[in-house]
Amino acid sequence: MTDNHNGHESSNSTALSPLSDPGLPPHVYRRADTEPAMAKKAERQVATLFGLSALSTIAFIASFVGIKKDVFIFVPLFGSTQAQQLALGTTLALSLFLIGAGAVHWAKTLMPDHEVVQERHELRSSDEDRQGVIDVFHEGAEAAGLGRRSLIKRTLLGSMGLVTLTPILFLRDLGPLPRKQLETTNWAAGRRLITDPGGIVLKAADLQVGAVAHVLPEMPKGHSETLNDLVKDAVIVVRLRPEDFNLPADRKDWTYEGIIAFSKICSHMGCAVGLYEQQTHHLLCPCHQSTFDVETGAQVIFGPAARPLPQLAITVDSEGYLVAKQGFTEPVGPSFWERSS
């Protein structure tokens, strides 16, 4: 517990070490250590910080009691804000911060700041203690008969080994395997298109050129869409002039009089591709700006998506309602390990 204690010790080892230990620099005394007037000043500063904190706390209580909740004020740069919330936040932050600031200032100016060295004791136990532990262990093992009763030893080891299998069963129990869920949706031949939200069963005539609708399959009575279904079944329907299309030959009859439907789940990361530019016929994913060209069957023209959006073949039924011609021919949404195509 003396100043520069370490400095003396290290000078002994200088001959052995290629790098000499410079030791601690000489202690620098603060003005508050040497001048009583400065110490008095620092004391006043610390007291002021604590006092301001107390005032802030009183202001906190006052604003909780005194400011009505429906008072809104406009603060430059900050905008319209509820006066009480602003006052509570500011005063509480100040009262907590000023306690800390006072304590730190106190420690920095007035509390002793002499460098102190305490040597660490040796980590190794004494030889007697080490031998003692070994003796006690042998004595216990001998008394329990570990060496003699091998039946107990073996059954114990066997049961302990077997019990490690139980976590594997817990892992298996985390949930059912996904099976084909990732590759199937509720879309099937004859399912009508129903807006969601909105609940309007769409007819072809309901969509003008330039129109867009966000739809789900109309479920048979007694079935409803679960959240897991929703994230796969969401479909966006747009209507163009039929002559705008430039579709692959095998997809020509997947549209109906300019109405075309795509999975709304981005093939990149699964965001909802809902941003449709009516004039350019581009579908955009708002998450990563993947851009799909509706005219060519949602081919990717920009962004990180690697595959076009899966197209849903549609037609109309005898009553004029838009229906799916068949389910999706490929899994919707982003890639996964077992994806077949």
Q: Cβ of residue 54: shortest distance to other proteins, in angstroms?
A: 21
Select from 261, 272, 252, 263 the least CA-distant residue to 212.
261
Residue with Cβ nearer other proteins (47 or 146): 47
Nearer Cβ to other proteins (182/275): 275
- Burial label for 187, CB within 10 Å (0-12, 13-18, 19+), is buried
Cβ of residue 33: shortest distance to other proteins, in angstroms? Answer: 10
CB of 207 to other proteins, least distance (A): 6
C-alpha span between 187 and 216 (Å, rounded): 8
- DSSP H or E run through 229: helix 227-233
- What minimum distance in Å lies between the beta carbon of 261 and other proteins? 13
- 7's CB contacts (< 8 A; 6+ apart) are 23, 24
Give Cα 18 distance to the centre of its chain: 50
Query: In this complex, which beta carbon is closest to other proteins, that of residue 6 or of residue 195?
Result: 195
Of 284, 292, 295, the closest CA to residue 239 belongs to 295
Q: Which is nearer to other proteins, 193 or 313 (CB)?
A: 193
Instruction: Please identify, using beta-carbon distances, which residue of 42 and 313 lies nearer to other proteins.
Output: 42
Nearer to other proteins, 184 or 299 (CB): 299
CB of 28 to other proteins, least distance (A): 8
- Residues in the site for other proteins, rule: CB under 8 A? 28, 30-32, 72, 75, 78-82, 85-86, 104, 108-109, 113, 195-198, 200, 202-203, 205-214, 238, 272, 274-280, 282, 284, 286, 289, 291, 302
CA atoms of 256 and 322, how far apart (whole Å): 9
Q: How far is the C-alpha of 238 from the C-alpha of 210, rounded, in Å?
A: 7
Select 13 or 280, whichever has its Cβ closest to other proteins.
280
Q: Is 268 helix (H, G, I), strand (E, B) or coil?
A: coil
Q: How far is the CB of 71 from other proteins (least distance, A)?
A: 10
Residue 28 or 177 having the CB closest to other proteins: 28
Question: Minimum distance from CB of 252 to other proteins (Å)?
Answer: 23
Shortest Å distance, C-beta 275 to other proteins: 4
The overall longest dimension of the chain from CA atoms, in Å, is 103
Q: 267: Cβ–Cβ under 8 A, 6 or more apart, which residues?
A: 290, 300, 305, 306, 307, 308, 309, 310, 333, 334, 335
Indicate the residue type of 64. F
